[in-house]
Amino acid sequence: MPEGKTEIKEDVWVPTICARCYAACGMWVHRVNG
């Protein structure tokens, strides 16, 4: 592999919500390799 590049072994989008206010906004977190 080229230097400075890491292999992507896991690439998932995790649904979650923010609880900082009453609205509880939905969002997606992008998790790569861990």
Averaged pLDDT, groups of 10, the chain, 34 residues long: 78 95 95 91
SS (HEC) of 1-34: CCCCCCCCCCEEEEEEECCCCCCCCEEEEEEECC
Quick one: pLDDT at residue 11?
94
- pTM as predicted: 0.57
CA atoms within a 13 Å half-sphere pointing along the CA-CB vector of 33: 5
Quick one: pLDDT at residue 4?
72
- State how far the Cα of 34 lies from the Cα of 6, in Å rounded to an integer: 13
Q: Where are the domains of the chain?
A: 1-34
Quick one: pLDDT at residue 2?
64
- State how far the Cα of 19 lies from the Cα of 15, in Å rounded to an integer: 13
Quick one: pLDDT at residue 3?
72
- State how far the Cα of 24 lies from the Cα of 27, in Å rounded to an integer: 10
Quick one: pLDDT at residue 5?
80
